[in-house]
């Protein structure tokens, strides 16, 4: 029986990225190495729903892919399912920066206002430029129902101990201070610092880098959502009259 996508309050996600990887793909969504049919149907429904919010009649979907830890062996009990609608930015009459900002804003609004999950795994949907460089060790196409890039299990690989990183500890302290003081001016610099750390980590060491692992740790601890909430509250307070 196909299980419904549930709308829910985002649960506390698993935290801590150290130790050995899992020896198999997450069997919540995979049957061996094959995506479960019911999961595929629901993810396609969600992608269609998201695409309608883009308000782009000329949107051309080249592929629909699962990437990240749920297409690999480094997932946790409540890891996100990263669902990407792939399109070619060069085919649109707008520059790449504008398209990136536009699609990212649509992504953030959709994921912020909707909380979908598949068997306890939150689904985060976004638009990806077909020409962009990707770092995921695994990539599965729902349109062709096959692996584009099949992950390889390495029993010798261990994920970095994020919680012992001074960079992580310093960022966590800054985030706690920002949230405790409702320091609206620190929101954007902190976001920029976190995402720059992730991009640098991906470029230098890939998906299992310390930079990307710190990003995931902070995201899974709820810091990014708290920053977004604080940002919305700041905008509301600025514009509203009481």
Q: Where are the domains of the chain?
A: 6-149, 160-239
**pTM confidence score:** 0.75
Residues 157 and 77 sit within 8 Å (Cβ to Cβ): no
The 10s digit of each residue's pLDDT in 55-69 is: 877 899 999 999 999
108-128: b (≥16 Cβ within 10 Å) or e: eebbeeeebbbbebbbbbbbb
| Chain centroid, CA 99 distance in Å | 19
Tokens of 168: 């992580």
Residue 113's pLDDT band, with cuts at 50, 70 and 90, is: confident
Strand partners, 82: 67, 124
Question: Quick one: angle between helices 166-181 and 210-220, nearest 10?
Answer: 30
Smallest CA-to-CA distance from 197 within 176, 226, 217, 220 is with 217
With b for 16 or more beta-carbon neighbours within 10 A and e for fewer, the 153-167 pattern comes to eeeeeebbebeebee
Report phi then psi at 128, rounded to 5.
-120, 135
Pairing of strands 139-141, 63-67: antiparallel
Residue 97 has pLDDT above 60, yes or no: yes
Give the pLDDT mean for 129-156. Answer: 92
Q: Choose among 50, 46, 49, 64: nearest CA to 117.
A: 46
Q: Compute the average pLDDT of residues 132-145.
A: 92
pLDDT exceeds cutoff 70 at 235: no
pLDDT, position 15: 34
């Amino acid at each position: 029986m196909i299980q419904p996508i549930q709308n829910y309050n985002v649960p506390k996600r698993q935290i801590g990225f150290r130790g050995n990887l899992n020896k198999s793909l997450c069997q919540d969504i995979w049957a061996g190495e094959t995506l479960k049919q019911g999961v595929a149907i629901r993810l396609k429904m969600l992608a269609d729903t998201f695409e309608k919010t883009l308000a782009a009649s000329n949107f051309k979907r080249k592929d629909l892919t699962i990437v990240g830890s749920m297409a690999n062996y480094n997932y946790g009990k409540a890891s996100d399912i990263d669902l990407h609608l792939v399109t070619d930015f060069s085919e649109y009459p707008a520059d790449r920066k504008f398209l990136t900002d536009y699609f990212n804003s649509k992504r953030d609004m959709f994921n912020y206002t909707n909380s979908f999950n598949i068997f306890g795994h939150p689904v985060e949907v976004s638009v990806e430029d077909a020409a962009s460089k990707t770092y995921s060790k695994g990539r599965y196409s729902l349109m062709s129902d096959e692996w584009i890039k099949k992950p390889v299990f390495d029993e010798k690989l261990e994920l970095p101990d994020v919680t012992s990183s001074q960079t992580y500890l310093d960022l966590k302290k800054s985030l706690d201070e920002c949230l405790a003081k409702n320091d609206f001016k620190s929101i954007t610099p902190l976001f920029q610092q976190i995402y720059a750390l992730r991009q640098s980590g991906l470029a230098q060491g890939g998906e299992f880098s310390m930079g990307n692992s710190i990003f995931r740790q902070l995201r899974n601890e709820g810091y990014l959502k708290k920053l977004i909430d604080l940002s919305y509250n700041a905008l509301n307070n600025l514009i509203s009259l009481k």
